[in-house]
Every structure is written in C-alpha cells, then in structure tokens.
A = this chain, B = another copy of it.
Amino acid sequence: MQRRDVLKILSAAPFLGMRSAPQSSAAAPASHPWRVFEDAFLSEIAFPLGGIGTGTVSLGGRGELRDWEIANKPDKGHGLDNSFFALWVREAGGEPRAMILESELKPPYRGAFGIPRGGLPGMPRFHKGRFLGSYPFARVELEDGRVPLQVTLEAFNPMIPGNDVDSGLPVAIFYWRLRNPGGSRIEATVLASLENRACWKQAGRTENRLVEDGGLRGILMTSDKLPADHPMRGTLALATLHPEITRTARWDRGEWFDAQSLFWEDFSLDGRLEPIALSDASPENRNDVGSVGALMSLEPGEEKVAAFLVAWHFPNRQNYWVEEIFGYQADEKGPILGNFYATRFEDAWSVARHTASELDRLERETREFHNALYATTAPAEVLDAISSQMSILRTNTCFRAKDGNFYAFEGTGDDHGCCPLNCTHVWNYEQALAFLFPALERTMREVDFQHNTDDSGFMVFRTRVPLGSEKWDFPHAAADGQMGTVVKLYREWQLSGDLEFLKRHWPRAKKALEFAWTQWDPDRDGVMEGVQHNTYDIEFHGPNPMMGAIYLLALLCASDMARAVGDGAAALSYEDLYRRGRAALDSETWNGEFYVQAYERAREEKYQVGAGCLSDQLLGQWMAHVVGKGHVLPEEHVRRAIEAVYRHNFKETFASHANPQRIFALGDEGGLLLCSWPRGQRPLLPFVYSDEVWTGIEYQVAAHLIYEGYVEEGFRLVRAVRNRYDGERRNPWNEVECGNHYARALASWSLLLALSGFHYSAPERTLGFDPRIEAERFASFWSVGGPGYGLYEQERRGSSFAATVKLVQGTGLEIARLSLPSISGTAGVDVRVGGRQVPATLESVGGRSLVLLGEPQTLRKGSEMRIAFATA
C-alpha cells in the first residue's frame, strides 16, 4: 500500500463527532474544524483550562465548571460549591427569567441524598447544549425556547509555542457572547459565582474583598486560616472587564438552604444583586460565596460579549505524593517545591490584572497558534489527536517548580500523580513539549544527566524532588529510557543548536550510553541481550528489536554528538558498533515478517515476548524518524514489520478479546493491541500489559506507519483512538493509561512530524519538509519553540512546485538549507524572503531536493520564505 490522497481517506470511515462549525470570532477564520458534541456525548467531557504548571479547572460538556484541580494536586470529580455562570434576561414588556448557563443534566441521577448540589443543579437550565472543542479553545452553545437570546461561551487559557511564561498563567478566561436575534430590546445579566476556597479543603475564615483595578473589577478571595507556607493556602480572583456590573462580596450565611434560596430570589427578581460589602471573615468551616455580574442591554440584532477571569494562586506546591511502591513515603508535610508562576505573581488578583492588561495580545497570539495548527492538511481526527493531547502539558501530570524546571509524572490518579517523576521510558514517547516548549524540555535533560546519572552511567529512571534528595533505589536502569534519553539530548541539541548545552551534558550522556556495555551489551556486539528493564515494568532478556533499535539509534546520535564536542574516537567507535549491531540485530530477530525476541527461555520465564509481534518493536525506528536519522534497520524489513504490526495487532472490535489485564478498549471499540502471537507460541504468562491498548503506542505506531507511507493505516489507527474518546465513552481531553492525562499520549505530536516530514537542524541550519500526503496543496504547522513556529505550505501540479515557510511567532529562525520533496524535471530554484529574491542553488540528494542558500537567512516573525522550482 502506498501514499493515498487525503480526500479519499477522509471519506473512508466515520470519525465520531467532528464537523465544521461556524466560528464567530473575528480573529479566527470563517470556518474551523471544531469537534462537536451533543446529547449523550457531553457527559464525559472535561476540557482542562489552565497553563503549564498551574493546574486546571475543567469545562464540562454542559458548560459546567468541574474537576477543580488548581491547588497543585489532581482531584478528579472535585467540585466547588455554588460556582457557576448564570443568566438573567427580560425581553421588553416580558417577564424576567433566570437560568444557570448550562444545558440540562442528563441521567443517571445518582446520589444517596439526591444529586450532588454544588452547582445549584435544581435551578432551570438550557434545554439544549452543544460543546465544541479545539484545544486550547472550548465553546459551549446554549439554546432554549424560553430564552430570547443566542448564547455562546468561549473559554481558554493562553498558549503560545515557545512562550512558556505566557503559556503558564493560572487563569481561566471566559467570553460570554449574547446575541439578540429578535425584535425587542432585551435586558440581561451574565453572572459568575465562585466559592472562596482560599484555604482549599480546610474551609472557613474566608474574606472576599471587592476590588476596583482600572477597568478590571471583581472579588479577591483570601483566608488567613492557614499559615502563609501551608500547601492549601492560596487566593482566588473572580473578575470582569465589563463596564456595567452588579456584584456582592458574599451570599447570605444562614442555615439550611438559606444562602442559595436568598441568592436566587435576589438574582431572579431583576438580575441585580443586593450588594453585601464584606465586613468580616466567614465563620470557621464555612466558605463565603461571591458573585459578579455583567449588565447588558441588547437592541434587536445586537451582540455583546462579557469577559470573565477566574484566577488562582496556590504558591506552596508540595511533594505530597506517597511513593511507598518505590520504597519511600513522603511525610505528611513533604518538602515545598513551589510554583514557577508564584515567582511572578503575588496573588490571584495580580494574575488577573496581568492577564487582563495583556488580554488582547494573549488571545490574539493563542488564536494565531491555533489557526496555524488547524491549517494543517490532515483529517479531522489527526488534528484532534494532536491538539487535544497537547493539553497534557498543562494538567497536573506536569508542573513547574519554583526552580524553573519542568517536572512530570507519567499521568495522574484521580487524586495523586502516578508515577513520579520524569520517567525516562514513558517520556520517550512524548514529542510535543520538545517541539513546542523546547526550553522546558531541556530542563528534563538537565535533571536526567546532572542529577540522575551516576559515575557508572547508571541513570535512575525516576526523579526525586526537590533535586538533591536521595536517589530512588530501584535496582534496574531502564534500557529503553536510558537509550532514549541519549537520543533526546541529540534532539534538543539539534533543535536549539546550543553547543554549550551539549557540552554540559555530553560527559554524562556518554557514560549513560556506554553503561550499556556493562549492563546490556557486555560483549559489545551492538545488540542488547542482558536484563533489560523497560516501559512494561518488567525485564526483557536476550536480543529484541524494541531495545535493539533504540540502542542503535542512541549510538548513531551519540556519534554525531561526540563529533560535535570533539570526541572523534568515540564517534568512530559508536559508528562501528552501530554497523555491527544493525546487522546482528536484523539477523538475530527478523522472522521473515517482523522482528521477534530471540530468547530461548521466552516461554519458560515470565513476562517475555518470544515469538510475539510487539507493537513497540520499532520504537527506536520511530524515534529515528523523529530526529531525522532515517532507517536504523533495513528499510524493507522495517516497512514489512510495521505493516505486520498493523495487520496483526489492530483490531476493529474487542468483543471477543480476553484481557485479564488493564482495560482501555473493550466491546465494539477498535484499537491496537500491545502484542499478538500470530504464529502461536504465546507464553502462558507473557509480559504484563501485552493484552492492553495504549494510546501512546497507537500514536507512535500510527506516526511510524505514516513515516513509512502507510498513511491510511495510520489515520485508521488514530480514528480508532479518538472514537474511543468520544465524550460518551471517555473524556476526549484525557487519554488514560497508568493514570489520567497520560504523558505517552503526547506521541500524538509525532503525527504532525510524520505527515509533514518536518525536520530542523539548528547546527546545520537545515529546514526540511517531506509531506506524506500527495495533495496538490499541502500545509502544515511546524514549531521549534522559542526561535519560532509557523506554517509550511506547498503547492504542486505536475512538475510545478512552490513552497512557503512562514514564521508566525518567534525570535527568528536561521536557514541555510532546505530539504524538500524531489520533483522530476526541475531545473532551478527561486527563493524569496519577504518578497526579496535571495541566491540559491538546487541539488538532488538521496531522492530529495536540497536548496542551498547563497547565504543563511534569518526568518523573522511575520515574514515568509517562498521557494519555487523552475521547470526544465
């Protein structure tokens, strides 16, 4: 099977829930591929709103605020009481009506005491709701025959590639858009209520202070109940930029249901609140609730928008996690790690003030990123996979301590990270941080090499914090994680061109690589056969492709790095070992159809693969493509093997699959098994997880299929994943493996890399694209973080070929060479930067068109480079 036209693919099989919907924002293009959810598909949606290292509050499918995880810990299902948006409306001459700005609750209606009452679920809601998600933007559309308005919410948190500071604000931004489609004037109030949770789960002694701050007005929520350094102490802010407002610092504090009753009575009467200016703190164990409303008057046909900010500030991030499964357990009061954002802001109001003052820019730049990403030529499900999983970087799976470093669990349990921290083998699969925020990615290498690698080259594959804590004492290093980390160092160097960075880490990286020679490849034949602990949490023995290929790739990358730092002898020895290893691994593990584990005791010992067809067998090969290293095993075998993985392991249904392990796909769902034994010889107890389905591996394999030209197969795999996350089965913005928001799913970024064939080498100032979709017009987002991100566009018709590289945002990208698709019959090249022609020559190298610029060009923000091939 070869490359196919994307249009044919798009019509091949259904992808649930995606369609084009009108976009009403002026800043965004006229149409946009939102994924749209209605009815039963709303139930599981929880769209995370928050920045890198800030935690999140999620927007539910009905428009409700749910899963408040803003105080430095995961907390699925955790609601704040009396925290919601509400609408009051009165058409001229009509009766007033008050509604919660959510669509109706759907069954089941569980609860031993009736359904939980945090969000006033007993109040009227909109009959019909739609949720539209396109990370980092979410939209809720509400309709009800009783309400004479068109009501839309747009919510987001700023996200700008390369700008980790503005992508790390602890705030959720809400635009409520009201349109009056009728013939009468309408008075309306959009109101936000928020519980003061300034002492988080220890309620009481809260103070709500009304704040006037230029155009920004609202409530700062504090409490002095806890000491300043307490992990649960923080502040919240509820604010609006709306010019005409109503607000109350607090609700009634009576018993029973007095507070809710009196609030609703007051609000529903005239859409204005009897203001209570706070004079005292709330009682012990009781939190005040504050409300801020935006008053509007809408003439027929008129549309108005009210902007609300919910900001939070919990500076005392703590190492709270219990790691007894790894041999130690944190004290009840573990060390304080702090938050990077708290080094910039003193409280939640200062977050709100900053956000408000920069709001136009933050919104514009976020939309530019979003628009550029969605300009990519790809099926909806692929863009959905790429964009939705970026969110992982901005959930509690990840954090940014006051030391500025980026740390991450693998994922999160419902109330704790799992497992800590910076796990080398799980984070092998991740590519989004590396390309969107490479400066943060580099902090992970700092930790890997400077803190976790000892003099023998043994790298502990989990990080304990604060840095300087006693290292984790697990007996094994992870073969895949350790080799992958060497590769990732190469990737970071290639993207940044930062030779000092490379020099700092190379000595430890060299030890880490050569640790293989004592542990895994003692006979130094280029093939691992020792005890290979790996991402399946067990140890493989004997030659096997998964460890083998990544080892080969590490040798190749190390060779380049050694040469760059002046260690030519090492470079040569790595290259030699690579050559020998490549031949030996292929010979020892190729079964004529795919690669297998060559270990004679695979059926006698527990937890091996043996003759199985492992989906991850070419993990190293996929990484090789990502870092631009081509085929580390014979291309023909690689292509046959990845096609065999698809053929044997992709299942359209799991209805007859017997899985005693963890369950991530079942019944009528499709997905990729981690392993199968198409030729029999399945061990009685094969490696744990072998019967499971992991989205991270599905994306890894899908991207690899695309790299090898099996584009439709790759798309089909992605579609199966995203159909499992359809809003009814599971939350589209939370792919689960060993925890929520599981980092391995960040492999979805490699779909973009594979589709576009994007590659950038800063040391060589070479930018390359190699689209896998043979469309006449192809476009792709690309990013290298700080230096810039942008859009690549390509048009080809017969032998006519033109391409444009645009830098949307960034400090500037240096380009000396471009590697582009080979077009038969081309005789020359025309290159223009900002319309100005620059000298360039064209070479054909290895089936590629290599454009050599006369002198290097720096592409600046907003400018573009246009390359056209002259026809012979």
Contacts and interface: CB of A to CB of B under 8 A. Distances in A.
Interface of A: 43-44, 76, 98, 104-105, 107-115, 117, 120-124, 127, 146, 254, 256-258, 260-265, 268, 411-414, 418, 606-607, 655-664, 666-667, 684-685, 688, 691-692, 724, 728-730, 736-740
A740 to B, nearest CB: 5
A112 B740 contact: yes
Contact of A728 (B108, B113, B658): B108
A658 B113 contact: no
Given A411-B112, A663-B117, A122 B657 contact: yes
A413 B111 CA distance: 9
Contact of A121 (B98, B663, B738): B663
B413 A730 contact: no
A663 B115 contact: yes
Contact of A656 (B146, B260, B265, B657): B146
Contact of A113 (B44, B107, B413): B413
Given A112-B412, A688-B257, A123 B660 contact: yes
A43 B657 CA distance: 23
B658 A122 contact: yes
Contacts of A411: 112
Given A114-B662, A254-B685, A264-B660, 19 more contacts: A76-B112, A98-B658, A104-B666, A107-B728, A107-B729, A112-B418, A113-B737, A113-B738, A114-B664, A115-B663, A117-B663, A122-B657, A122-B691, A124-B656, A256-B607, A257-B661, A258-B606, A261-B661, A261-B684
Contact of A114 (B264, B606, B663): B663
Given A109-B666, A685-B262, A659 B123 contact: yes
Given A104-B655, A740-B112, A261 B685 contact: yes
Given A122-B691, A124-B655, A265 B114 contact: no
Contacts of A607: 256
Interface centre among A120, A122, A414, A656 (most CB of B within 10 A): A122
B736 A658 contact: no
Contacts of A658: 98, 122-124, 264, 268
A184 B44 CA distance: 46
Interface centre among A115, A411, A660 (most CB of B within 10 A): A660
B109 A729 contact: yes
A585 to B, nearest CB: 28
A112 B69 CA distance: 15
A261 B692 CA distance: 13
Contacts of A263: 660
B659 A122 contact: yes
A122 B663 contact: yes
A667 B413 contact: no
B662 A117 contact: yes
A692 B660 CA distance: 45
A128 to B, nearest CB: 12
Interface centre among A146, A606, A692, A736 (most CB of B within 10 A): A736
Contacts of A660: 120, 122-123, 257, 260-261, 263-264
B113 A739 contact: yes
Contact of A736 (B76, B113, B663): B113
27 contacts: A43-B108, A44-B108, A76-B112, A98-B658, A105-B666, A107-B728, A107-B729, A109-B663, A109-B666, A109-B724, A110-B730, A112-B411, A112-B418, A113-B737, A114-B662, A117-B662, A121-B663, A122-B661, A254-B685, A256-B607, A257-B688, A258-B606, A261-B660, A263-B660, A264-B660, A265-B684, A268-B658
Contacts of A414: 112
Nearest to A667: B104
Contacts of A254: 685
Contacts of A667: 104-105
A695 to B, nearest CB: 12
Contacts of A122: 657-663, 666, 691
Nearest to A734: B112
Contact of A110 (B44, B257, B661): B44
Contacts of A109: 663, 666, 724, 729-730
B113 A666 contact: no
Contacts of A98: 658
Contacts of A663: 109, 114-115, 117, 121-122
A29 B457 CA distance: 79
A611 B227 CA distance: 51
B123 A730 contact: no
Contacts of A113: 413, 662, 736-739
A551 to B, nearest CB: 26
A453 to B, nearest CB: 29
A863 B113 CA distance: 46
A656 B144 CA distance: 11
The 9 closest A-B pairs by CB, nearest first: A122-B659, A260-B660, A114-B662, A107-B729, A122-B663, A114-B663, A261-B660, A256-B688, A257-B660
A108 B730 contact: yes
Nearest to A738: B113
Contacts of A661: 122, 257, 261
Nearest to A97: B656
Contacts of A691: 122
Nearest to A258: B685
Interface centre among A105, A109, A115, A664 (most CB of B within 10 A): A109
Contacts of A260: 660
A729 B108 contact: yes
Contacts of A412: 112
Nearest to A124: B656
Contacts of A664: 114
A833 B177 CA distance: 79
Contacts of A107: 44, 728-730
A413 B110 CA distance: 12
